[in-house]
C-alpha cells in the first residue's frame, strides 16, 4: 500500500496516547492524538484518516457516543479500546458501527495485528475509486488492466472500454452499436463488424491468461454480446 497511513488516536489519557503511538510509529503509521470526542470529530472533518483507535471510557462523551456521531458522516474503520472484556459492551460497540475492539492492557504485537487486519479489510479510497468491480473481476482504470482472482491481464484502450461498458452493466445484452459507441467514444465510420474482431481478440487474450472467458463473455446471437 502506498504512502503512510494516518491513524487517529482518541483517549483521555495522554500516557495511553503516547504508548499507542510508540507501538504504531515503527510500522509506518502516522498518528494524530486527541483527548476527546469533539476534537476527534473536528479532525475527521479536515484530515484524511484511514483508521480510528477510540477509547470507550472517556469523560464527557464516551467512546460509544463518539462512534455513533462519527458513523453519521463517515465509514472510516473504528477499533474500540476497552478496559473491560464485558461481552455486552463489545456487542454494543459492534452494533453501533465499530469494526473491531481490543481489550486493555494489550501489547504491541496484538495492537499492530488488529490494526493491520482492519486496514486490510478496507482498501484505500483512491484505489477503490479506480476499480470497477463485478463478482471476482476488477477493472483498474489507472492501469487499464483486468484482475480476476490472482490473474492480471493488460488491455488496450478499446478492449478496456468494451469491458468497462459490459462489466458496469452485467447481464445486459449490448448491441454492436452500443459497444461501438462505448469503445470509440466518438462518432466513427468504422464498420460495425470490427466489434466482432475486437471481442474475438479479447476472448483470446483472456483465455491465454487463464480466464474461463466462455463463461463470462457471451455472444447473444442476432443482437450482440453480454458479460454475465
Helix axes 87-95, 63-71, angle to 10 degrees: 20
Domains held by the chain: number = 2
Nearest by Cα to 198 from 167, 228, 225, 168: 225
Same domain, 47 and 31: yes
* pLDDT at 191 (0 to 100): 78
Same domain, 40 and 138: no
Which residue, 127, 148, 173, sits at the end of a domain? 127
* pLDDT at 2 (0 to 100): 46
* pLDDT at 142 (0 to 100): 78
Name the burial class of residue 160, with classes exposed (0-12), middle (13-18) and buried (19+) by CB atoms within 10 angstroms of its CB: buried
3-state SS assignment for residue 195 = helix
With beta carbons less than 8 A apart as the criterion, state whether 158 and 151 touch: no
pLDDT (tens digit, 0 to 9) for every residue of the chain, 228 residues total?
A: 446 899 999 999 999 999 999 999 999 899 999 999 999 999 988 888 999 999 998 888 899 999 989 988 888 899 999 876 666 666 666 677 888 889 888 999 999 999 998 888 876 655 556 778 777 788 888 788 898 888 889 988 889 889 988 988 888 899 998 898 887 766 566 777 888 999 999 999 999 998 888 888 999 998 999 987
**CATH code at 95?**
3.40.50.2300
Strand order in the sheet with 100-103: 29-34, 5-10, 51-55, 78-82, 100-103
Which residue, 73, 99, 127, sits at the end of a domain? 127
d(CA 66, CA 57): 11
* pLDDT at 93 (0 to 100): 66
* pLDDT at 96 (0 to 100): 79
Same domain, 135 and 122: no
Residue 11 structural domain: 5-127
Q: Is the pTM value of this prediction over 0.85?
A: no
3-state SS assignment for residue 226 = strand
* pLDDT at 124 (0 to 100): 61
* pLDDT at 23 (0 to 100): 96
Same domain, 110 and 138: no
Amino acid at each position: 500500500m502506498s504512502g503512510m497511513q494516518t491513524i487517529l488516536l482518541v483517549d483521555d489519557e495522554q500516557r495511553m496516547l503516547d504508548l499507542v503511538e510508540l507501538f504504531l510509529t515503527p510500522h509506518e503509521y502516522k498518528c494524530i492524538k486527541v483527548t476527546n470526542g469533539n476534537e476527534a470529530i473536528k479532525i475527521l472533518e479536515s484530515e484524511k484518516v484511514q483508521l480510528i483507535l477510540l477509547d470507550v471510557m472517556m469523560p464527557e462523551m464516551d467512546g460509544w457516543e463518539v462512534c455513533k456521531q462519527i458513523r453519521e458522516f463517515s465509514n472510516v474503520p473504528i477499533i474500540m479500546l476497552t478496559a473491560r472484556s464485558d461481552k455486552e459492551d463489545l456487542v454494543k460497540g459492534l452494533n453501533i458501527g465499530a469494526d473491531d475492539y481490543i481489550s486493555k492492557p494489550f501489547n504491541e504485537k496484538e495492537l499492530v495485528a488488529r490494526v493491520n487486519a482492519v486496514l486490510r479489510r478496507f482498501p484505500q479510497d483512491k484505489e477503490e475509486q479506480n476499480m470497477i468491480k463485478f463478482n471476482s473481476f476488477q477493472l483498474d482504470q489507472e492501469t487499464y488492466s483486468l484482475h480476476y482472482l490472482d490473474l492480471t491481464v493488460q488491455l488496450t484502450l478499446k478492449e478496456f472500454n468494451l469491458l468497462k461498458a459490459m462489466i458496469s452493466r452485467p447481464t445486459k445484452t449490448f448491441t454492436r452499436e452500443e459497444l461501438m459507441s462505448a469503445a470509440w467514444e466518438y462518432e466513427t465510420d468504422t464498420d460495425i463488424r470490427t466489434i466482432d474482431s475486437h471481442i474475438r481478440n479479447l476472448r483470446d487474450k483472456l483465455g491465454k491468461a487463464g480466464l474461463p472467458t466462455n463463461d463470462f463473455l457471451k455472444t447473444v446471437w442476432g443482437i450482440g454480446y453480454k458479460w454475465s
